[in-house]
Homo-oligomer: A and B are copies of this chain.
């Protein structure tokens, strides 16, 4: 069944009704994560999260099989994508491919906030992989 989460906070730190604010990142970091759409909403295919990264901080340096879709909501970031860096700001869209090393560093003097899409584990193609069956090659 459909779910609506009304936004209740103002930019640059948005909050939503029915969405918990989780601490995110390394020990001592004050970044936050909010899961706007996810398992709790009955969403089997993807999750939508909202992150806040304070001035001078960064997201985790990550490297994993699943990909990400990111839209910067507020602030400025230097993004590591594999071996290259890009500078992005509010409204810019970043696609992080699977197994691509990535990190979002707040390089502005305001909070960095962004939306981040992640495919659900149950929707990952490898979860559906079927063990190969040995069969004789078909005669053409």
Q: Enumerate chain A interface residues (CB-CB to B < 8 A).
A: 1-7, 14, 16, 36-37, 41-46, 48, 66-67, 69, 71, 79, 81-82, 84, 86, 88, 90-98, 100, 102, 115, 117, 119, 122-125, 127-130
Contacts and interface: CB of A to CB of B under 8 A. Distances in A.
Copy tally for this chain in the complex stands at: 2
Nearest to A129: B128
Contacts of A48: 69, 71, 93, 117
A36 B16 CA distance: 24
A58 to B, nearest CB: 16
B94 A3 contact: yes
A115 B82 contact: no
B43 A69 contact: yes
A41 B125 CA distance: 18
Contact of A45 (B16, B44, B46): B46
Contacts of A119: 45-46, 119, 123
Given A42-B97, A95-B41, A4 B115 contact: no
A124 B128 CA distance: 10
B125 A44 contact: yes
Given A79-B4, A100-B2, A93 B123 contact: no
A2 B95 contact: yes
